[in-house]
Every structure is written in structure tokens, then in C-alpha cells.
Structure 1
Amino acid sequence: MLAADSAYAMPLATTIRSVAEANASAWPLEIHVIHDGIDSATQQRIFDSSPRGSVTIDWHAIDVSLFASDYVPLPYISRMTFSRLVLPSVLTERVGKVLYLDSDILVLGDLSPLCDIDLSDAVIGAVLDPLDAEVKRNKRGLEKVPRVGHYFNAGVLLVDLGNWRNAQVTEKTLNYLDRFPKSPFSDQDALNVACDGLWKQLDSKWNFQCEPHESIVSAVDAGRPAIAHFVTKSKPWKPSSMSVNAARYDAVRARTRFARSMPEIAREEIATLAHKLLKRSSLVRSAWSLAKSFRNARPAMIAQSRTEDK
């Protein structure tokens, strides 16, 4: 199960492609996508981005404003993040367990060992978030992050839907967000509260939460993550991220129907070079800032000049 809006069509297609390529022995994979506003043509383009016969995709349209109109996610996160809170209402009861993945992910390994994990009475299986340690030390001004036994990252969730329903997770998360609509990490905070003491900790390889400078490719295969999750706003497909994983990500994207065109590659290479120069040189940064200020001020200057001429 994944979730995305139209702005995330390319990352969604890339994630699904990575899932398919790393799990060929399980074809056809049953993929479900919760979406808000992805039209049929784009849906077909996403489907065609994976190898023929590798996946089936069921599309589930929802209106996120119905349950998220007052909630405040981080500025770089889409409101589609709240859609994971209603998983049981999207899937029929024939589905006992589901693997939820964010769309800023590359799957690098076989997922069957993850899917075969016995959750027993746990609602979900998840990986600790680095915030688990930082919240306890009250760093980064995270005093408002809910205090729980341990704090997990919600980008990869192995969900027992029966246990979820029995524990009324959806109801508890929405109730939490009604009470704390500006909770720093919104739905992730809500899930941590609702599942406190009811989740199973998974090995970190199932949700390797990497910063732009952390490589997902290891010389030793045993040290390679099975799921790489690009958790910050600096995504590897953005030139400004200067991510060490940009080439690895683009190699998968290039095999989808969202591959970059030659003009796009040229523009983004120039943009990446510019960002590198800006990062390294305070003089260039000052010049760049001055140039932007002049560019922004120029229309007003021209208008004033024309007024004076009159």
C-alpha cells in the first residue's frame, strides 16, 4: 500500500518500480494506491512504469480534506500523509496484513522476510525513528512531541489490519489530531500515541532513514539496507539536495515512464553545480543573493522609470 497525490506521481512510480525489480520472485505483486487527484492517464503511466506482468495496481481515491482539513503537516509534506490513518476503510477484510510504504522510498531487497514477520498481538511492525533518542533528550525544541515508550518512523509499516481495527487505531489517531492539530510530526505523532505499547520493533534495514550525505550502497552486501527511506525535505531527485544517492535514484527513475529528458538533465546538472558553488563560496552566495534581489526589484524599477518618463 502506498499513498500519493498528482505532485508525487514520479516518486510513486519510482518506488513501485523498485519494489517490482527487487521482488521478481513474487510477481505479480498486489499494489494498492490511495490517491487524491491522480487522473486515469497518469495512473496508466505509473502502471506502465513497472515491468510487464510485475504488478497489479488498485487505485483508491479519497478526499483528504474530509479528515485532514484542520491538521498541519510539515511544510514539505503533502496532506496525503494522513491517508495511512484510514487503511482499514480502504482495504476489504479479506486482507489480513498489509505493508505500507511512503513514496520517497527505494526498495533494494526481497520484502518477503519482512512480510512474513509474525506480529502476534501487535498492531504494527515499525523501525525506531532517530527522534526516539532526541525526544528523550529534549533536543531541537521537540517538547511537544508526544511522550511514548519508544517513537517509531511511520514511513514503513507492517500492519495487522484486524489488530488495528480491534485497537481502534484510526479513531484514536483522529482524536489525537483533533486535540493537537499542530503536533510537530502530525500523523506520525498520532500513530505513536495510538500504538504505544502495541507495536513490534523491526530491524533498521527495513527502514533505513537516510540523510542526503548517507550512501545507500554498501561495498558489503550484508550492510546494505533493504528499504532506503529519504526522510528529509532534501529528496535525491531534487538538485538542491546534492544527495550522494542522486545517481542511484535516477537509475531506477530512468526505467520508468517518468525518466528525465535530456534538457531536464542539462538544467538539473547546472542547478546542482550552482548549489555546490553556493554552498562552498560565501562570495558567490553574496553575489547570488544580490542578483536575486536585483531580479526581484527590476520590475518595480522599470515601472518607476516609466512613471517618471511620463
Structure 2
Amino acid sequence: MSDTATKNINALHVAFGVDENYLHPMGVTITSIIENNLALDLVFHVFISAISSVSRARVEQLEGLFSKPVHLHIVDELVDVKDPGAGKGQAYISKAAYLRLLIPEALKDVSDRVLYLDADILCVGDISGLLRLDIGDTIAAVIRDAGSESKRVGLIRKGQVLTDYFNSGVLYINIPRWITERVSERALEKIADPALNLRYSDQDALNIVLDGKVQFIDRVWNHQYGLTGKLRKGKIGMDVPPSTKFVHFIGPMKPWRSWNPHQSKELFLKYQALSPWAGECLGDGFTPREIYVYSRFMYRLMFQQGRWLRGLIWYGRFLHKKYMVGY
């Protein structure tokens, strides 16, 4: 894959921190970005601790298919990057917990700005405006979290008083300022602090460390979309504002489930069909949380359609999860 030695100041650098399980949705995310921004000079960076030969080949296909650089950063090979978890009693924290925290140091000689994205995001609009965004002397441009107030209150109970609370799934990072402020190291100190016992781990930690040092931008850059809530209400159509740039599928339910009745699955498949993962089977398993939400959706749908027997079967599954599992 491409060499990262040359600094390209005119490109938009986009970075991901994933494990093997999220390479497929990440590939679809990258495809959605390219398809909606064909004229944009894009450079992608994938940070991962280990990758199979099959997945590596898929990432290489992704670069060849779109003629866009895709740099693969194997964490264990980043010998020149200071491990933010080393030497401070944090060795027990897995690499997966701080992959995004490695990104600024690793890319400091490549770009002054990098857009970090979670892999459960789809791009649905023109993102060239980020290159014109003036974030001044702030450390990052961020978007308010959908549950900001409750999460902020939760941290207040731990003695951490914040002015606001952002979602860490989309971060437009000012790399020099991030490094100067030692954001990665300080965030890991918060994660490792047993007295804090942070519920949302690195997201909470980043909010504590970056409080008052970020620029909040419009939610079109991180439209947080909870499929759990949509299905609870029986809503299966995509309903995002036309100005949306990124749809972020927060929560335990994701669009790439084969049984997903929501229109988000069709959106995911649209971009998957254009990617090296075209034709790949979607996951068909359920987590306990997913079967609870899905069974609730299905029994209500069956009753609405007058399919009473099927509705009762699904209602029984819903009650089992509700009272036996404790949802």
C-alpha cells in the first residue's frame, strides 16, 4: 500500500482505528466517502493491531479500485510512535481501547489535520467543507453527543465538571495542538484511573481532557442515528436531513445485519455493492440486546398486519428477553 512519507497539505486525511471485525463496515464507509466526493483529494489511514491476509488483500483492492491512497498502519509496527499506554501503569489497557489515540502522533509528519471516523458511519454528502473549516487554535472540531446532558451529569457525579459533551466518533483533529497538549497520554491516565471508572472509556476521557479546548460544529457532520430507538417506535425509513454529511449508527444495532428491517440496511448495501466487499453476506447473528429490540418490533408489526399467531410467537420471545434477561 501507499507510502506515507510525503506530506500532502491539500488532501483531506481520514483515519480509522478498527479491529478485524470492523474492516468490512470500514471499507463500506470509505466507499461511501469516495462516492459522494469524487473530486476530493482523499487519503485514508487504517490503524489496526492485527490483520489477516484476506483482509489485507481487500484493503489493497479498495485502494486500487478507487485510485485513492489507503495506508495500513499495523500498531505493533509503529516503533517510532510513542505508546501512550506505556510506563504509567496502563499496560493492561488493550490496544483496541486507544487506537484512535495513536493517530495524531503517527501522522504528525504527514498532515496538520486529520479526520477521525468510527467505522459505523456512512457518508451521504459533500465533505469538502472540512478543508475550509477554520478551527483556529482549538485542538479539534467536534459534534455534541446525542446524550450529552446525561453523560455530562454522570461525569459531574465523579467530580468532573464539563461545559459540554461531544461524541468521539467524528473528530477533526488539529495534530500539532493535540500533541503539544499531550491529549493521548492524559486521556489514558483518565481511562486507567480506578477512582473515575469511566463508563464510556476513551470518549469520557477525551471529553475531560479537551473540555473548553474544542470547537463544536453542526450535527450534519455527525448525525447520530439510533436504530434501537427507531425500531422501538416501528420506524423503518431513513429520516435524516438532506444537509447531512455523515450518518453515525450509534448504539448496539448496526445496519449490516441481514435481518435488519430498517432502510439503513439498503443504504449500507448500496455502498457495499461498489466496494471490494460486494456480495459479502451480512451478519445474521443477534446479541441479546438486538433480539430484545427486534422481537418487540416484530410482534407489533405482526399485530398491525393481523398475523396474530406470528405476533404471539414474537411477543413470547419479547417477554422472555424482557423478564428473563432483565431488559
Q: One fold, TM greater than 0.5?
A: yes
Q: Which runs of 4+ in 1 moved over 4 A?
A: 63-66, 141-146, 214-218, 264-268, 287-290
| Partner residue, 1:245 | 264
CA separation in 2, counterparts of 1:161 and 1:232?
28
**Alignment check: 8 A CA contact 1:23 1:110 kept:** yes
Q: Aligned equivalents of 1:35 and 1:145: distance in 2?
A: 34
Higher helix share: 1
Q: 1:94 and 1:56 mapped to 2: Cα distance?
A: 13
**Aligned-pair CA distance for 1:12:** 1.1
Q: Distance in 1 between matches of 2:282 and 2:172?
A: 36
1:11-30 mapped onto 2 (5 Å cutoff): 11-27=25-41, 29-30=42-43
Aligned-partner Cα distance in 2 for 1:267–1:59 = 28
Cα displacement string for residues 232-275 of structure 1 (whole angstroms, at most 9, x for unaligned residues): 110011245543311111111122222345xx47979xx99x85
2:259–2:284 CA contact under 8 A, matched in 1:
no
Match of 2:251 in 1: 232
CA RMSD of aligned residues (A): 3.3
TM-score (norm 2): 0.72
Q: Corresponding residue for 1:191? A: 206
Contact 1:6–1:38, Cα closer than 8 Å, also in 2: yes
- Aligned residue in 1 for 2:218: 203
- On the 8 A contact 2:256/2:283 being kept in 1, the answer is no
Structure 1 residue 133 corresponds to structure 2 residue 149 = yes
1:284 maps to: 314
Q: How many residues align?
A: 273
Q: Which residue of structure 2 lines up, in the alignment, with residue 307 of structure 1?
A: none
**TM-aligned CA distance change 1:16 to 1:132, over 3 Å:** same
For the residue of structure 1 that corresponds to 2:18, the secondary structure is strand
Identify if the C-alpha distance between structure 1 residues 110 and 99 changes in structure 2 by more than 3 Å, giving closer, same or farther. Answer: same
Asked whether the 8 Å contact 2:258–2:283 carries over to 1, the reply is no
User: Which amino acid letter does the alignment assign opposite residue 108 of structure 2?
Assistant: T
Identity over aligned residues, as a percent? 25
Q: How many angstroms does 1:42 deviate by?
A: 1.4
- Residue ranges of structure 2 left out of the alignment (5+ in a row): 1-14, 302-310, 321-327
For normalisation by structure 1, the TM-score amounts to: 0.76
Tell me what 2:122 maps to. 106
> 1:231 is aligned with what amino acid?
I
* 2:108/2:175 contact within 8 Å kept: no
Cα distance change of structure 1 residues 266 and 202 upon mapping to structure 2, 3 Å threshold: closer
- Give the aligned partner of residue 163 of structure 1: 177
**Residues 192 and 266 of structure 1, relative CA distance in 2, 3 Å threshold:** closer
